[in-house]
Amino acid sequence: MVADGNIKLEVEGLSLSFGSVMALIDVSFRAREGEILALIGPNGAGKTSLLNCISGFYHPRHGQVRFNGLEINRVSPSRRAKLGISRTFQNIELYKGLTALDNLMAARHVFIKYGPVAGSIFFGKARKEEIENRSIVEEIIDLLELAEARHRVVESLAYGLRKRVDLGRALALEPKLLLLDEPMAGMNVEEKEDMARFILDIQELKHIPIIIVEHDMGVVMDISHRVVVLDFGTKIAEGSPQEIKRNEKVISAYLGKANQSGERAK
Amino acid sequence: MWRPCGIFDDTYEKDISIVRTLPQQVLTITGLIALLFLPQLLGAGRITTVNLIGISVVSIMGLNILIGLTGQISLGHSAFMGVGAYTLVMLMNHLGFSFWLALPFSVLSAGLIGLLFGLPSLRIKGFYLAMATLAAQFLIPWIIVHVRPDLTGGTSTLNIAAPSILGFTFDSQVRIYYLVTFFAVASIVLTRNLQRSKIGRAFVAIRDNDLAAEIMGVEIFRYKLLSFFICSLYAGLAGALWAVWMGAINVDSFTLHESIWYLGMIIVGGLGSVPGAVFGVIFIRALEPFSHYIGPPIASYFPDAIGAAIKSGISPFVFGLVILVFLIYEPRGLGHRWEIFKHFYRRWPFSY
Ligand SMILES: Nc1ncnc2c1ncn2[C@@H]1O[C@H](COP(=O)(O)OP(=O)(O)OP(=O)(O)O)[C@@H](O)[C@H]1O
Ligand SMILES: [Mg+2]
């Protein structure tokens, strides 16, 4: 399980603060083609903030994000989406009034070229593009077993299914880098196994870097090639899952947190 | 898939089309034929009101895109209709344009002015945006009255010639009915299509979750402005039709009062539903004659002074009451009721 593909993402010396809270302090790491990189750390460590910096939603105070060798610090989130940076959200940020199908179709936005006039007439080119993109979306629906949700408004879907639609939407963007923020949080064992299977399928199919934030160490050990550990905004360790399991700093970071509060990670 | 039981789509092409089954086709065609003979069915006397409904449908299709789909707000919709109406009349009366030549300009100018007043939406939302668009509702009539009263007629009424096409002149309410109905049906079809297109999905994405929309590649600024633009295009078209319907224009037709009635139609119809919006228009526009009908009998129970106040005040009173009732009991509007009815019909006889 060694990933030796090209480097796709480089994060260098990233720092971010909210008032007096230092969310990220001088964080650097790289992600390669075809690898599943787990990003772990206790609650409030800065994992989501790091993903937000990569997808352009937060602006780091210092440091750089490079994607495909291109510095993207000043690139807007929607342009980053066009570059192929796609993600899911910790708290499922779907378009709740749309069906699962339309949520996925909405993520085809950057690939659909027709304009408002063609859209209003909905004939010829527009219809053709809709059908082409629909069949791509249908492949994702098959892959993630979303058929039962297809024509249902996502608001009405069960939590686990919504998490899957969120993943489906991220896939519909044809990602070249996929960021998953706690895709299995709040799921039962069976749902977690399904999700892990989907993530491995995606990795095999797409051969892109996948960065996954996850608290369940069992899952992290099972599916990730490499692990980056954050604590209080700083990177305290990086390495293979086996190395991380034995790392003193990591153990004490988690134990320290466990003593302070009920711990989520095992 | 909520289709009559047992009917499934074998292609995506069928799945995305609006009119799908044979009964739907029959119903659509019957409806269109009924529209063709509506003046004969209703009698010429009621056609003036029907025309107002048709014009309001055109207008509401635009507002529904802005409010219902994109989740923005405009309190200046009636003013944008005024832009359309005045542009039409200015071009026809002062530059000698024909109606058909002036129409695209009047639609476009309303669109651009609407876009201009939509600019604040890039920075502000909700209540503050409502206030910013309210500015349009005060500025535009002020400009019409004060800037070039020699051209716009100030507060007085300007007449226009009836438009004609291939020797057919739209010079009676029954004839105007066909003009209005053509544009009303076209507006419904076009906006219904827009809603299921890439653009409609982007609008709803902005409404439901603008942060996620941006991260999934939707250029929020561009699409918010596009929504204001399209919304006002329809306002402009409705304004031009209004001018034809009245045979004249007056600045008093494009007031805040009207803008609020349009909001009422959206509330009654339900956000984002095209059939709902049509129901909302019919419902609210029928309220006015209804109020005049029930006003006098109610007033007769009260002493003269109060009775007179009731007669004149009953229409806004009923309007307010209806809005309250809908907000409290059916915030999803008539459009939602319609969906429930359709689901019921489609699952019949297996209701579960
Ligand atoms: N928008 C914000 N405004 C203010 N503070 C923020 C904001 N976003 C994050 N923070 C702070 O930054 C720190 C890191 O938060 P972050 O959400 O990145 O942690 P996390 O590792 O994802 O935690 P969790 O496991 O709970 O999801 C926290 O102290 C948090 O309170
Ligand atoms: Mg987080």
Tell me the residue type at A235. K
Q: What is the pLDDT of residues B224-255, one digit of tens each?
A: 999 999 999 999 999 999 999 999 999 999 99
Instruction: Give the pLDDT of residue A101.
Output: 96
Instruction: Give the pLDDT of residue A266.
Output: 40
Q: Chain-wide mean pLDDT for chain A?
A: 91
Q: What is the pLDDT of residues A126-158, one digit of tens each?
A: 999 999 999 999 999 999 999 999 999 999 999
List Cβ neighbours of B170 (8 Å cut-off, separation of 6 or more). B162, B163, B164, B176, B178, B179, B244
For residues B202-218, average pLDDT:
96
For residues B303-316, average pLDDT:
80
Chain B residues with beta carbon closer than 8 angstroms to that of A112: 198
Q: What is the pLDDT of residues A70-82, one digit of tens each?
A: 999 999 999 999 9
User: Which residue in chain B is spatially nearest to A95 when comparing CA positions?
Assistant: B208
Q: At residue B2, does pLDDT exceed 70?
A: no
Q: How much of chain A exceeds pLDDT 90, in percent? A: 85
Q: What is the pLDDT of residues B48-68, one digit of tens each?
A: 999 999 999 999 999 999 999
Is B340 exposed, middle or buried, given 0-12, 13-18 or 19+ CB atoms closer than 10 A?
Answer: exposed
Query: Which atom of ligand 1 lies nearest, measured to the CA of A233?
Result: 14
Chain A residues with beta carbon closer than 8 angstroms to that of B194: 116, 119-120
Instruction: Give the pLDDT of residue B1.
Output: 39
Q: What is the pLDDT of residues A164-190, one digit of tens each?
A: 999 999 999 999 999 999 999 999 999
- Ligand 1 centroid to Cα of residue A73, in Å, is 20
- Ligand 2 centroid to Cα of residue A73, in Å, is 21
The answer to whether B217 contacts A89, with C-beta atoms less than 8 Å apart, is no
- Ligand 1 centroid to Cα of residue A180, in Å, is 16
Query: Which atom of ligand 1 lies nearest, measured to the CA of A230?
Result: 21
Q: What is the pLDDT of residues B4-35, one digit of tens each?
A: 444 455 677 777 777 777 888 888 899 999 99
The CA distance from A240 to the nearest CA of chain B, in Å, is 30
Which residue minimizes the CA distance to atom 6 of ligand 1? A18
Which positions in chain B have a beta carbon within 8 angstroms of at least one beta carbon in chain A?
A: 1-2, 12-13, 15-16, 190-191, 193-194, 196-202, 204-205, 207-209, 211-220, 226, 230, 272
ipTM above 0.85, yes or no: yes
The answer to whether A135 contacts B215, with C-beta atoms less than 8 Å apart, is no
Q: What is the pLDDT of residues A92-133, one digit of tens each?
A: 999 999 999 999 999 999 999 999 999 999 988 899 999 999
The CA distance from B52 to the nearest CA of chain A, in Å, is 24
The answer to whether residues B215 and A81 touch, using CB atoms and an 8 Å cutoff, is yes
> Where exactly are the structural domains of chain A?
1-84+176-266, 93-174
Class of domain A1-84+176-266: alpha beta
pTM for this structure? 0.91
Q: Which residue has the higher pLDDT, A186 or B295?
A: A186
